[in-house]
Amino acid sequence: MREVLRVAGALFVRDMRTAVSYRTGFVLSSLGAVVNIAAVFFLSEALGGSTAPLLDPYGGSYFGFVIVGVALTNFMGLGISGLGGRIREGLMTGTLEYMLLSPNRLAVLLLGSTLWSHAFALVTIVLYGVIGTFLGMDLEMATAPLALVSFVLAVISFNALGLLAASIVILIKQGDPVTWLVTTASVLLAGVFYPTAVLPEWLRGLGQLLPLTHALELVRRALLGGEGLGSLWPSLLALTGLTAVFLALGLWACGAAIRVAQRDGSLSYY
Amino acid sequence: MEQGQLFGLLGENGAGKTTAIRMFVTTLLPTSGVARVGGYDVVNEPQRVREIIGLVSSEERSFYWRLTGRQNLDFFAALHHLSPRAARHRIDELLEVVDVRDEADQPFHSYSTGTRHKFSIARGLLTDPQVLFLDEPTRSLDPIAASEVRHLISERIVRQMGRSALLATHSLAEAEAICDRVAIIRAGRLVATGTVADLRAQMGLTTLCEIRIRGEPEVTPDELARLPGVQAVAPLVDGKATRLELRLEQGGSALDGVLRYLLAGGAVVESCQTREPTLEEIYRRALETGPESEAPQLTPEFPA
């Protein structure tokens, strides 16, 4: 365990040093989070105070609803495309081959490679929360522990999907159909900008296959609606199940992709 | 390959040197055949193999260019589970060995190609490996930098530190200068292996001898060619002197008899020079004569 933490720490420090070395990019990324919140705030202002009944389970405020949607979608993007991006970068530079020569499990290397971006996104999410609260997002009724557990599960499920996407990148290098498919479907079906209740029944059914759908439902209703496990357990169960399935599938796919790449010699070129 | 040796893997571009190295370091699975490093099978015991090897390539991009050389080494040391204290100590030691201590805290992108190659060697040595695989470590280096790297490999790493090293190169001069033994491969197959002297013998290459004589000895080239150990004689008149070009059997032990015969025949020997076939000649002969279809498959074993 100590060795895993040391490796994870080294991957985190490497990425932090690299990110900070690109000063302009780092500052712009930080500013981007603030701009996003402002855009969402003005959008909800434009809609006026009118709260649709469909938003009642989520505290009734569109601002809070969308802030949570955008924040979790950002995390999903990081989790899914982050791993593939890291693999692609490692293939292009030749660093992946050296990393695979180390005595570490593939999952540790891959997931550790996204720690910095997750930490940065976490700071962004806290920023969303602080500024959102300042601008009127009501968190007084929040069931924080359930929201936190749901959030952690969601992050794991996003990274599990990321492993699937990474295995495709290892095999076909360019193009990432998993990221495209999951991101597009999630924005449409998971209820990022609107409650899923507005969707036709059959589309809503498809949305149930996406971790983001359940993650948003859980975090919003626990954080903004103050609901507990008593009413949210079906969503928690669904998210846990999806996470377990995608994680097992992702780890298997990544291991298989590496073995294929080891056989055809494509681990060292892009 | 024996322990403490510098073993050269020679071949033209596309011969399979890098492919072979990538199989030995376990990043590429062989389609057939067996290879063992330190007694461990590269297919069935890859983890064991990784624990005892180091890899040095000439691929400069395999570092993080926004980080310093020291930060890069620190990162790879952590991946190999060196404690922070052990890593610090080891990195300081290696920076001395490869002579880049003064540049260690500069960004990697600011280094010269030679310095980057030295950092690559330092990275390969981080875990104090038993066997170091070097894939064309002097490629694209200027002659002085290449010479420094060659000296570092042969003198510091192999002779002083006692490490075994396999050097893939297409530079025959490099292999001849520093390798204890060499293997020549073509299209993924072993064509010849041994010391340079072994290969000269295996390839049937002769010792070349040039003798300049004066006077008019009562000796004919045909008589010389019939002496034991002499394979061919070609006389060339060069002004007042006669130049004889002889091909002697491997090692040139027939030279003594030739000289005695000439002196006894009344010749005045002005000069005598012998030359062993170069590795380049061996290499060309091996590529010409090595029967691709009959050559054994590459099944090397590295020191336990």
For residue B159, give the DSSP letter: I
B81–A3: do the CB atoms touch at under 8 Å?
yes
| HEC profile of A51-119 | CCHHHHHHCCCHHHHHHHHHHHHHHHHHHHHHHHHHHHHHHHHCHHHHHHCCCCCHHHHHHHCCHHHHH
Best of A96, A101, A268 to disrupt the B interface by mutation (most B CBs within 10 Å)?
Answer: A101
Nearest residue in chain A measured CA to CA from B123: A98
Tell me: pLDDT of B251 over 70.
no
Q: Which residues of A touch B22 (CB under 8 A)?
A: 265, 268
- Separation CA A258–CA B28 (nearest Å): 10
Which residue in B38, B282, B297, B12 sits closest to B166, CA to CA? Answer: B38
**CA nearest neighbour of B129 among B21, B3, B29:** B3
For testing contact with chain A, the best of B29, B79, B85, B109 (most A CBs within 10 A): B79
Is A95 in contact with B19 (Cβ distance < 8 A)? no
Q: Flag if A95 and B22 touch (Cβ within 8 Å).
A: no
Class (C level, CATH) for B6-200? alpha beta
pLDDT given at position A90? 82
Containing B295, the helix (H) or strand (E) segment is none
**The sheet that has B181-186: what strands, in order across it?**
B53-57, B131-135, B164-169, B6-10, B181-186, B189-194
Pick A103's closest partner by Cβ from B50, B66, B74. Answer: B50
B221 pLDDT band (50/70/90 cuts)? confident
Contact B62 A97 (CB under 8 A): yes
Higher pLDDT, A171 or B303: A171
Q: What is the pTM of this model?
A: 0.77
Give the pLDDT confidence score for residue B296 in this predicted structure: 43
What is the Rg, in whole angstroms, of the alpha carbon atoms belonging to chain B? 25
Interchain proximity B59–A94, CB inside 8 Å: yes
- Which tokens belong to A232? 């949210």
**Better-predicted residue by pLDDT, B294 or B169:** B169
The most confident of B38-42, B221-225, B226-230, by mean pLDDT: B38-42
Position B159 pLDDT exceeds 60: yes
Cα nearest neighbour of A23 on chain B? B66
pLDDT of residue A48: 65
Quick one: pLDDT at residue A268?
65
Nearest to A102 among B19, B61, B79 (CB): B79
Q: Which amino acid is at A168?
A: I
Q: Per residue in B268-291, is it b (16+ CB within 10 Å) or e — as a string? A: ebeebeeebbebebbbebbbeebe
Q: What are the backbone angles phi and psi of residue A266, rounded to the nearest 5°?
A: -95, 15
CB-count burial class (<10 Å; 0-12, 13-18, 19+) for B180? middle
Query: Does the pLDDT of residue B300 top 70, yes or no?
Result: no
Residue A172: strand pairing partners? none
Closest chain B residue by Cα to residue A6: B78
Q: What CATH fold (topology level) applies to the domain B206-276?
A: Alpha-Beta Plaits (3.30.70)
| Inter-chain touch A6–B51, beta carbons under 8 Å | no
Closest Cβ opposite residue B81 in set A6, A13, A95 = A6
Q: List the single residue in B with minimal CA-CA distance to A97.
A: B27
pLDDT at B59: 77
Q: What angle do CA B172, B174, B180 make, to 5 degrees?
A: 95
Domain ranges of chain B: 6-200, 206-276
In terms of DSSP H, where are the helices of B45-151? 46-52, 69-79, 84-97, 113-124, 143-151
Residue B304 has pLDDT above 70, yes or no: no
Check CB contact under 8 Å for A94 and B47: no
Confidence of residue B77 (pLDDT cuts 50, 70, 90): very high
CB-based contact B47:B41 (threshold 8 Å): no
User: Higher-confidence residue: B158 or A22?
Assistant: B158
Q: Which two tokens stand for residue A20?
A: 């900070």
Residue A42: per-residue pLDDT: 83
Give the model's pLDDT for residue A248.
93
Q: Which residues does chain A have with pLDDT short of 70?
A: 48-51, 268-270
H-run or E-run covering B37: strand B36-37
**Does A101 sit within 8 Å of B81, measured CB to CB?**
no
Which residues of B lie closer than 8 Å to A, measured between beta carbons? 19, 22, 25-29, 31, 47, 50-51, 53, 55, 57, 59, 61-64, 66-67, 71, 74-76, 78-81, 83-84, 107, 123
pLDDT greater than 80 at residue B284? no
Return the pLDDT at B96: 87
Q: In angstroms, what separates the C-alpha of B232 from chain A's closest C-alpha?
A: 49
Q: So what's the pLDDT on residue B92?
A: 93
Note whether B19 contacts A265, CB cutoff 8 Å.
yes
Q: How far apart are the first and last CA of chain A?
A: 33
Residue-level pLDDT at B131: 93
Average pLDDT, chain B: 85
Q: Is the pLDDT of residue B294 over 50?
A: no
Question: Does residue A156 contact residue A76 with C-beta atoms inside 8 Å?
Answer: no
> What pLDDT, on a 0 to 100 scale, did the predictor assign at position B60?
75
Q: Is the CB of B62 less than 8 angstroms away from the CB of A94? A: yes
A195 φ, ψ (degrees, to nearest 5): -65, 145
